[in-house]
Amino acid sequence: MLVLVAPGQGAQTPGFLTPWLDLPGAADRLAGWSGAIGLDLAHYGTQADADDIRDTAVAQPLLVAAGLLSASALDAPAFGAVAGHSVGEITAAAFAGVLTEEAALQFVRTRGLGMAQAAAVTQTGMSALLGGEPEDVVPHLQKLGLTAANVNGAGQIVAAGTVEQLAQLAEDKPEGVRRVVPLKVAGAFHTAHMAPAVAELGKAAQSLDVADPAFTYVSNADGKIVDTGAEVVARLVSQVSNPVRWDLCMETFKELGVTTLIEVCPGGTLTGLAKRALPGVRTLALKTPDDLDAARELIAEYSAA
């Protein structure tokens, strides 16, 4: 089985969209999306600096737009399964036909603005812990008042909380943790700090036209397969203040018999996790259009099998 996955916030880098806009029709599509959501995606994806695209209200729509552009360039008729990490789950919902592309961009614009406003209330952030076992790491984070916001598998958990709590974590690492790496995000996402954004997103969800997933849709809330569009959208709302369990998504990939994993632009994070947690699964990250031919070959092999 082939699974298409979309990364979450923090994967963006300055200028990463530049080569993608040379693809036929890409600049026009991006301009249309920009007009629909009131945000110049081309500017932020090609000219803005790291601080500008770190802004949650900018980063989230930018990531969804990049995922949709790169996935459409694959010209793939179907995928065995789709999934997304954090905001990438909105990208996955569009892949699966639950939301139209424009609806996905409008929804993520609301999400990004709401989460940015929630993050402004208290100085918060996130740090990745490399190494350690969940049974040691999670209780230690709870002791410090932190949340295990992303349980990513492959020896990686992301802690979220106030800057003071994260500073204490850097001085008091859990047993087995080799490094604590601050992430380029502007808030404690997937924690109770984001509760105000949940209410705002819930209102936006009420006006969405929703379809059931056309492909197997794996939810990052618990790794479960979700069959209805209504349930997908409900999870997109609640996941803002609840942890991402990418480790459970990868367990589901194993159960489904996934043999190939392609990560859309800006790819790299999820393929890195898969290489460690899913030995034997072929992985490919779409970083630039130069990666498209290799991705199409993998898709052709999958379709012919």
Residue ranges per structural domain of the chain: 2-120+191-304, 124-182
- Residue 155's pLDDT is 85
Residues 6+ apart with CB under 8 A from 293: none
pLDDT at 239 over 80: yes
Residues 6+ apart with CB under 8 A from 61: 33, 37, 39, 41, 105, 108, 109, 112
CB atoms closer than 10 angstroms to residue 143? 11
Pairwise CA distance, residues 154 & 89, whole Å: 20
Consecutive H or E run containing 261: strand 260-263
CA 253 to chain centre: 17
CA 49 to chain centre: 21
Helices (H), 133-265: 134-143, 163-171, 195-205, 229-238, 246-256
- Residue 75's pLDDT is 82
- Residue 77's pLDDT is 73
State which CATH number among 3.30.70.250, 2.30.38.10, 2.60.40.1180, 3.40.50.300 fits the domain covering 124-182. 3.30.70.250
Pairwise CA distance, residues 229 & 236, whole Å: 10
Active site (annotated) includes residue 127 = no
Q: How confident is the model at residue 305 (pLDDT cuts 50, 70, 90)?
A: low
Active site (annotated) includes residue 85 = no
pLDDT at 304 over 80: no
173-193 in b/e burial notation, b at 16+ Cβ within 10 A? bbeebeebeebbbbbbbbbeb
pLDDT at 61 over 70: yes
Mapped onto helix, strand or coil, the DSSP state of residue 273 is helix
pTM of the entire predicted model: 0.94
Q: Is the dihedral of CA 48, 157, 104, 69 positive or negative?
A: positive
User: Residue 20: which region, alpha, beta or left (left: phi > 0; alpha: psi -120 to 50)?
Assistant: alpha
Q: For 257-303, how does the pLDDT look when each residue is reduced to its tens digit (9 = 90+)? A: 999 999 999 999 999 999 999 999 999 999 999 999 999 999 988 77
Task: List the catalytic residue out of 190, 193, 219, 241.
Answer: 190
CB atoms closer than 10 angstroms to residue 260? 20
On whether the CB atoms of residues 232 and 213 are closer than 8 A, the answer is: yes
- Residues 227-248, mean pLDDT to the nearest whole number: 97
Phi, psi (deg, nearest 5) at residue 290: -65, -20
Amino acid at site 204: A
Q: What percent of the chain has pLDDT over 70?
A: 99
Task: List the catalytic residue out of 34, 70, 86, 219.
Answer: 86
State which CATH number among 3.40.366.10, 3.10.310.10, 1.10.10.10, 3.40.605.10 fits the domain covering 2-120+191-304. 3.40.366.10
Q: Which residue has the tokens 């970083």?
A: 287
Q: How far is CA 228 from CA 82, 238, 248, in A?
A: 14, 16, 20
Q: Do domains 2-120+191-304 and 124-182 have the same CATH topology?
A: no
